Structure 1
Amino acid sequence: MAHTDIWRLSATELTERTRAGDLSAEGAVQSALNRMDQVNPGLNAVVEDLRTEALERARALDQNRAKGAPTGPLHGVPVTIKINVDQKGHATTNGVIALQEAIAPDDAPVVTNLLNAGAVVIGRTNTPEFSFRADTDNPLHGRTHNPWGQHISPGGSSGGAGAAVMAGIGALGHGNDIGGSLRFPAAANGAVTVKPGLGRVAAWNPGQKAERGLLAQSMSVQGLITRSAADLHLSMPSLISADPRDPFHVPMPWRGQELESPIKVAFTKNTFGYALHPEVEKALDAARDALADAGYLVEEIDPPDVFECGRNGYRALMGEVLSLMKNDIEGAGSQTIRDIFDVYFQEFPPILGTELLQMMAKRSHYAREWSLFLQDFPLILSPFLPQPFFKPDRDTEGVEGVHEVLGCAVYSYAMNFLGLPAACVPARLAELPTGPQPINVQIAARRWREDMAVDAAAAIESRIGQMAPVLWDKMAAEP
C-alpha cells in the first residue's frame, strides 16, 4: 500500500502494522492529516486541527516503541474527539458561541482511555448547539456536510465524527448519544457504531459547572463511530476502562459469556403507523437474511412496546431539559436552536412535576419488560428510522420537519431510556432520486452485551459489505 493510502486502513489493520513496527505511528497520523487536508475543507467535519500535538505524540510513541516500551491496543491510531467533551487545553464549545473560551482543565475519561491505549487525537469534530439536534450546524463552526453528498444531513449530534470517519479522517471517531447521537450519524454516513448501555463507559467533563440532570446522566453515553464492526471490538475494551471520576461506571469485561447456538434474534418491521419506506424494508430483509446465513435463529416477533416506552422517555427528558436547560438555551442559543426547541416541546410535550417523578419510576417497568423479553431473544433486529435519512435542516421546518427527524425515531431513544446497548450498521446502499444513500438497521442487545450486538453487526457487514470503499470511489470520481 502506498504511503498516501494509509488513511484507508481500519484501526485493526493499522495496529497490526504499528505494533509490529511495519508502520510508524507518525506515518499513520501523517496520512490521516493529509486526508483531512484533502477532504475536510468541503466537509467541515473537523473544526479544530490538532496536527502539531498529534505529530509530536506520534513521534514520542515511535521513540518509546524503539526503546522497547510496550505498545497499547490502539498504538498510533488517529482518532477525533467531539467538541462537547473535555480535552485538556481545548475549548469544550458544544457548538455554542458563548462557550468558545471554555478551556478544559483536564481530559474526560474517554479521552484519557483512548490516550492510554495509544491513540493519537488529530482533531475535534463538530456538533450542533448544545448537542441537541440530529443534524450538525451551529453559528460558531458552521455546517458539517455528509461525504455522500449535500442531499443528506450528516446526522447529529456526532455529525462531525461520522462524516470524518467515513471520509477517511481518522480510523475512529468519538461521539456520544442521549437519544441517538451516535446512531444518527452512523445511519446518515453508512458507518458502524454501538450505543453502549448505561454504566458501560465512564463519563464526566472536568470543566462542567454543575452535575447533569438525572435523566441526562442515565440516558447519555459515550462511544465510537467506526467504518467496521471489527474496529469496535478492537477499541471498545479500551474505552470502557474504569475511571473513579464516574462513580456509577460498572467495571465489566467487554466480552460476556458465550451463549449456546443458535442465538435467537427477534425481528420486527413494526413502525407504529409511520410508513416503512421500501428501501428500509429491503435493508431489514437483507440484514435478516445475513444473520440467518451466519447461523442466528431469526424469528419475526415484536418486542415490548417501543413506541410507548420511547415517547414517554423522550417526553420525560424534555421535562428535565425544560426545567434545567431552558435558561441556557434562551440565553446562549441562536434563534434557530430556540425555535427547534419550541417545536421539540410540541412534538414531545414535557412531563413535569410529580408526573415526571412517576415516569422516572416507570422506567424500571419498561426495562423489566425488555429484560424478560431479552431472556428469550438476546438480540432484536429492527429499523433505526422508518425512512431513508433526511435532508440537511429538515428539523428547522416546523412540526413536520421535527416529526420526520425525531418524532418517528422511537427505536433510537427508547434504547437510551431503557439503558440498553444498540448497534447500528449499514445493510443497503439505496439509489434514490436525490443520489446514493446508505440505509442502516439497529440491533439491540441484552444489558451488558454490547459485544453480542457488535458480533451481529459484523455478521451483517461480512455478507453485505462495508460502505466506505464505495464512498471513497464516489468521492474520488467527483470533480
Structure 2
Amino acid sequence: MDHNDLSARELAARIRRGELRASTVIRDTLDRIARVNPQINAIVQDCGADAMAEAEALDRRIADGQQVGVLAGVPVTTKVVSDQKGYATTNGTRLFQDVIAPQDNPFLRHMRQKDAIVVGRTNTPAFSYRWFTTNAMHGETKNPHNPALTAGGSSGGAAAAAATGLGHIAHGTDIAGSIRYPAYACGIHGLRPTSGRVPQFNHSGPDRGIGPQIMAVSGPLARRVDDLRLGLEAMAGYAPDDPWTAPVPLIGPTFRRRVALVKRPGGIDTDPRILDDLDRAAALFRAAGWEVEEPTELPDLREAVQLQIDLWLSDGHEAKLAQAEQEGDAGAIALLRHYADRAAAIDVARFGEIFARRSALIRAWRGFLEDYPVVLMPVSGELPFQQDEDLRGGDVLTRLWEVQLPQIAIPLLALPGLSVASGVVDGIPSGVQLVAPPWREDICLEAGELLERGFGFPALLPR
C-alpha cells in the first residue's frame, strides 16, 4: 500500500497498534524521496540515517508496550530556516552554511515528543524573503504541477514536499504569506497559526528583530486539513525559550457559523478564476447551513500591509541589504533595494506611530471577527506567479506586492489564516483563504474541512 493514502492520524494509529512498522513507513518514504525529489528539489538536506535510527527505536518501544505519541512514526519535514540539532540552519544562504544547530527549535522539540520523524529539510529562498524558492546554496525548487510556475515562497520546499508525498506534514514559516502562498501555489493546504501559538527560537543565532518576533510564525502544510490539525497539535504549546508563547487551549467556545465573503480585499483586482473559487466556497458554506454575507465595510487591510513592511523590512534594513549583497542573491537584493528609500525614512518616532496604529487595526479586526468569525477571501489576487517574476523590474515587483495584500496584512494583525486548495486546472493550482479570530485555528480548520469535502482532496503527485 502507499502510506500517502492514509491520513497522518490513521498512519500513526496503525503504527501504534503494530499493524505497520515505523521503520517500514520511513524506509518507503525515503525511497520515494530518492525517486521524486531529484525532479523538484524540495528536500535539500538528507536526514535519512537519523530517520531510520529513530524509526527502529520507535518500533522497539512499541514492541515493549510503551506509550507513544500522536504522531508515532509519521514522516515530516522541517524548513532550513529553523534549527534541527546537528544540521545547518542555512536560511537558503551560503553565508550560513556552517551554522550547525546545537539543539532543536522548540516547535520541533514538541513534534519529537509526539514521535514524529524528520525525513528531510526543505528549501527556502535566500533569507526567506521571496515568494519564489531558489538560491545559490541549494538551487531551485520546482512546482510539482508546472515547472514554469513558482512553488511559492518562502516555504516552497515544504509545499512541494507535501504535495509529492515526501512526508505527511511539512513545517513552514510565515511572516508575509510564506506558508499560505506556497500551499496555494502547490495545490495543498497551509495553516498560519496565531502569533504565539507555536514556539520558535533558533539557538544557533541571535534573537530576531521586533517585527519577526511578533509576526513570524511556524506552522504546518499538508494535503489534508486534518493533517494540519494534528501537525498544529504537535507543534503548539508553551516553551520557555520563546517569550511570546502562551498555553492557550486549541479548542475554543462555540461560535456563530457566519462568514464574511470578501472578494476584493483592499480593492485589489482578483482573477476571475479566484472569484469563481470564492463563489463556490460560499455556496458550500450556505449548503451546510452557514450564513454567508458580503459586508459593505471591512476594517483596513492596506495600512496593515504598510505597517508590516515597515516592521519587517525597514527595521535593520542596511544590515539586511549588506547581507543580501554579500550573498549575491538577486531576489533578496531586488526586494530590499525596492524599499530602501522607505526604510531610510523610518525613525524612532515613526516606530512609535507604527505600534499605535497596529493596536488600532487589531482592535478593529477583533471587533469585526466578533460578528463574522470566518472571513473568506483570496490568498492572492492572481493565480500562481511565473518563476522568478519578481526579477523583471520594479513595476512588476510593485504589482506582485499589490496582489499579495490578502496574505501580507494578516501577520500584522496577529490572526490565524488557512490556505485551502480548490483544485488544479490546466496545471495551475488555486485556492481560497480563511481568516478567524486570534487563537481560533479550530474555526479555520472546521471551515477548511467543509471546503475540502466540496473541493475534493488534493491529488498526490506523482502517483
Interval containing the TM-score (normalised by the shorter chain)? over 0.9
* Residue segments in structure 2 that go unaligned for 5+ positions in a row: none
1:280 to 270, 274, 278: 274
Structure 1 residue matching 2:292: 3-state secondary structure: strand
1:307 to 297, 302, 308: 302
Runs of 4+ in structure 1 off by over 6 angstroms are 346-350
Give 1:335 shift: 4.1
2:157 to 155, 160, 163: 160
Which residue is 1:33 aligned to? 30
In 1, the alpha carbon distance for the partners of 2:355 and 2:448 equals 31
**Residue identity (%):** 35
Q: Tell me whether 1:74 sits opposite 2:71 in the alignment.
A: yes
Structure 2 residue matching 1:325: 3-state secondary structure: helix
Letter in 2 for 1:268: V
Query: What do residues 58-82 of structure 1 show as CA deviations (whole Å, max 9, x unaligned)?
Result: 0100100110110100000000010
In 1, the alpha carbon distance for the partners of 2:345 and 2:400 equals 18
1:360 to 334, 347, 355: 355
What are the equivalent positions in structure 2 for 1:59-458 lying under 5 Å apart?
A: 59-208=56-205, 210-259=206-255, 262-301=256-295, 302-322=297-317, 325-345=320-340, 351-431=346-426, 436-458=427-449
In 2, the alpha carbon distance for the partners of 1:404 and 1:190 equals 23
In 1, the alpha carbon distance for the partners of 2:188 and 2:267 equals 27
CA contact (8 A) 2:268 2:402 kept: no
Query: What do residues 97-140 of structure 1 show as CA deviations (whole Å, max 9, x unaligned)?
Result: 01111111111001101111110000000000001111100001
CA contact (8 A) 1:97 1:140 kept: yes
In 2, the alpha carbon distance for the partners of 1:391 and 1:419 equals 29
Structure 2 residue matching 1:429: 3-state secondary structure: strand
Give 1:271 shift: 4.2
Query: What do residues 247-285 of structure 1 show as CA deviations (whole Å, max 9, x unaligned)?
Result: 2211112111122xx511111112444322111111111
Number of residue pairs matched?
462
CA contact (8 A) 1:72 1:117 kept: yes
In 2, the alpha carbon distance for the partners of 1:349 and 1:412 equals 25
Give 1:441 shift: 0.8
Label 1:10 to 1:346 Cα distance change in 2 as closer, same or farther (>3 A).
Answer: farther
Letter in 2 for 1:314: I
Letter in 1 for 2:242: D
In 2, the alpha carbon distance for the partners of 1:423 and 1:267 equals 15
Give 1:349 shift: 8.4
Give 1:347 shift: 8.8
In 2, the alpha carbon distance for the partners of 1:192 and 1:20 equals 28
Higher mean C-alpha displacement, 18-27 vs 217-226? 18-27
Letter in 1 for 2:209: G
Structure 1 residue matching 2:134: 3-state secondary structure: coil
Label 1:207 to 1:400 Cα distance change in 2 as closer, same or farther (>3 A).
Answer: same
Label 1:69 to 1:308 Cα distance change in 2 as closer, same or farther (>3 A).
Answer: same
Query: What do residues 402-458 of structure 1 show as CA deviations (whole Å, max 9, x unaligned)?
Result: 234333211111110011101110124333xxxx21211111100110110111111
Structure 2 residue matching 1:98: 3-state secondary structure: coil
Higher mean C-alpha displacement, 61-70 vs 321-330? 321-330
RMSD: 1.7
Q: Tell me whether 1:467 sits opposite 2:458 in the alignment.
A: yes
Higher mean C-alpha displacement, 352-361 vs 188-197? 352-361
Letter in 2 for 1:453: C
CA contact (8 A) 1:194 1:224 kept: yes
* Residue segments in structure 1 that go unaligned for 5+ positions in a row: none
In 2, the alpha carbon distance for the partners of 1:348 and 1:373 equals 31
What are the equivalent positions in structure 2 for 1:37-48 lying under 5 Å apart?
A: 37-48=34-45
